[in-house]
Amino acid sequence: MSKGALSPDVKVLVVGAGAMGSGIAQVAALAGHPVCLYDTRAGAAEQGAAGIAAALDKLAAKGRLSAEAAQAAVARVQPVVQLAEARDAGLVVEAIVEQLDIKRALFAELESLLAEDAILASNTSSLSITALAAPLSRPERVAGLHFFNPAPVMKLVEIVSGLATGPAVADTLHATARTWGKVAVHAKSTPGFIVNRVARPYYAEALRVLGEGAADAATLDAVLREACGFPMGPFELMDLIGHDVNFAVTSSVFDAYFQDKRFTPSLIQQELVLAGRLGRKSGRGFYDYAPGVERPLPATEPVQAAERSVAVVGDLGVAAALIARLEAAGVAVQRRHGQEGHGAGWLEIGGARLALSDGRTATRRAAEEGVPNLVLFDVCLDYAATPRLALAMADQCGQGAWRAVVGTLQAAGMAVSRLDDVAGLLGLRTVAMLANEAADAVLAGIGSAADIDTAMRYGTNYPKGPLAWADELGVGLLTRALGHLGAHYFDTRYRISPLLQRKALTGARFHE
């Protein structure tokens, strides 16, 4: 079998005419393939084809597609009532119910029907490709072709190889997905593949911080959205996905990894599911979506007076851009020598020390370093432009020192959200855990560093790949933060990936 992309004249059979299957059929038809759409439900294939026609007409009306191209793609989609009508298909993509026995029965039928060189692909997001292929006489031609919803819009496709998947099959699917206009990555068949595994900490850490009462959902969402550049905060995203779905995925990954504590589901989310508060689709989740109900605003500190001058001691590392922002706001900045090491410095503002979080609580760090007026700030995407910054103050810190820090940062154009003194704040612990999970996925051979970062950027729209972010922040900072989090909670959830440890010890980067 050629390692190149499938020719556009190769027929594609899509089994399952729901939203995902119809979306995949639309993508294949737009790429020039004749497409057969099949579903066991009477009339479902015809309904799916009609939905494709309506979607393409809408794209043409908006000028995103020519009328001719839309009509040609619609003409390529043929609903069929029997699988035998598509026996000459060179690629099958199944998008049916997520039940192993049903998918296996389908693949057994397809194996007896199609030519020996036809590829059998599953759009499963949770089932083992190895298990799906195992009963077949030629398991090497089975692979995962995992699209993200909605398939015509989302760019990422995970090409998933089971133990028996032929390398040429995976390469063909990878090349074909690219010719279909998708961003394709290779992944090994393990629970969650890349995206659904690596993304778990984005929800889990926010839920834990919420559970500790550090701030409300609206504030935590604003911190990760405005300061860290994620397209949606975790709570509004879980409301959009549906808590039943999100909780089920987390529980599935947790069980599949033999109850590894890194994937422990949240009791808070379980309570929402039990209450029927599933998010947008039920009208209520973390937020109330009833008509006329206003969205709660994030907690923002009231305006305080700014200090006229501050001192920077040592090297602020990734946060060095704060200095230019302060100077542009008319704050005089004195520079003093301080601790050696990238990012080991701090700002002295009105009797307070302002430093980047390292995973300890501000209260513990203040006690250990003998600095009572300690305020910690969180990781963000770009200190030169961030509109919001999350802070936490030590219990020993005086209110006057706190107000001086807040007012000075406000003068530099930042809204300040105060979190209660939670270890690692929110941005740091989230990015550290995402990078840790991504590093373990590399170590396990689930995907390359480049593919994992690509998958997280295009499958979840993260502003950076977790490993690229680790390179930028410094792997040393992240390993220190994880070590402090583990000690704080006495929890193996924060164990440090061996690969992350090696990078920290050698100073090596994930992307050279």
CATH of the domain at 20: 3.40.50.720
Domain count, the chain: 3
Give residue-wise pLDDT tens across range 244-296: 999 999 999 999 999 999 999 999 999 999 999 999 999 999 999 999 999 99
Here the tokens at position 497 are 């990936």
Q: Quick one: pLDDT at residue 126? A: 87
Q: Which amino acid is at 374?
A: L
Query: pLDDT category, 1, cuts 50, 70, 90?
Result: very low
Nearest to 338 by CA among 322, 357, 324, 354: 354
Same domain, 204 and 182: no
Same domain, 394 and 353: yes
Which residue is it, tokens 């984005």? Answer: 202
3-class SS of residue 127: coil
Same domain, 34 and 136: yes
Same domain, 175 and 316: no
Same domain, 62 and 133: yes
Give residue-wise pLDDT tens across range 283-312: 999 999 999 999 999 999 999 999 999 999
Which range (41-55, 270-284, 337-351) has the least confidence? 337-351
Q: Quick one: pLDDT at residue 71? A: 96
Q: Quick one: pLDDT at residue 3? A: 56
Residue 158 known to be catalytic = yes
The answer to whether the pTM exceeds 0.85 is yes
Query: pLDDT category, 339, cuts 50, 70, 90?
Result: low
Same domain, 292 and 436: yes
- Contacts within 8 Å (CB) and 24+ apart, 396-402: 396/363, 396/366, 396/367, 396/372, 397/352, 397/362, 397/366, 397/372, 397/373, 398/351, 398/372, 398/373, 400/350, 400/351, 401/349, 401/350, 401/351, 401/352, 401/373, 401/375, 402/352, 402/375
Distance CA 351, CA 412 (A): 18
Give residue-wise pLDDT tens across range 309-325: 999 999 999 999 999 99
pLDDT at 28 exceeding the cut of 60? yes
Q: Is residue 376 part of a domain?
A: yes
Q: Is residue 481 part of a domain?
A: no
Give residue-wise pLDDT tens across range 221-248: 999 999 999 999 999 999 999 999 999 9
Same domain, 103 and 165: yes
Q: Quick one: pLDDT at residue 343? A: 60
Q: Is residue 372 part of a domain?
A: yes
Q: Is residue 460 part of a domain?
A: yes
Residue 369 known to be catalytic = no
Same domain, 339 and 435: no
Mean pLDDT of the chain: 96
Q: Is residue 486 part of a domain?
A: no
Q: What domain range is 316 assigned to?
A: 309-418
**What is the CATH number for 221?**
1.10.1040.50
Same domain, 394 and 447: no
Same domain, 210 and 108: no
Give residue-wise pLDDT tens across range 440-467: 999 999 999 999 999 999 999 999 999 9
Residue 337 known to be catalytic = no
**What is the CATH number for 336?**
3.30.750.190
Distance CA 502, CA 49 (A): 52
Q: What is the mean pLDDT of residues 414-437?
A: 98
3-class SS of residue 354: strand
Q: Which of 22, 123, 189, 196 is catalytic?
A: 196
Same domain, 160 and 29: yes
Q: Which of 158, 307, 348, 437 is catalytic?
A: 158
pLDDT at 152 exceeding the cut of 90? yes
Q: Is residue 490 part of a domain?
A: no
Q: Which of 33, 146, 186, 243 is catalytic?
A: 146
Same domain, 272 and 125: no
Q: Quick one: pLDDT at residue 2? A: 40
Q: Which of 122, 125, 357, 436 is catalytic?
A: 125
Give residue-wise pLDDT tens across range 97-146: 999 999 999 999 999 999 999 999 999 998 999 999 999 999 999 999 99
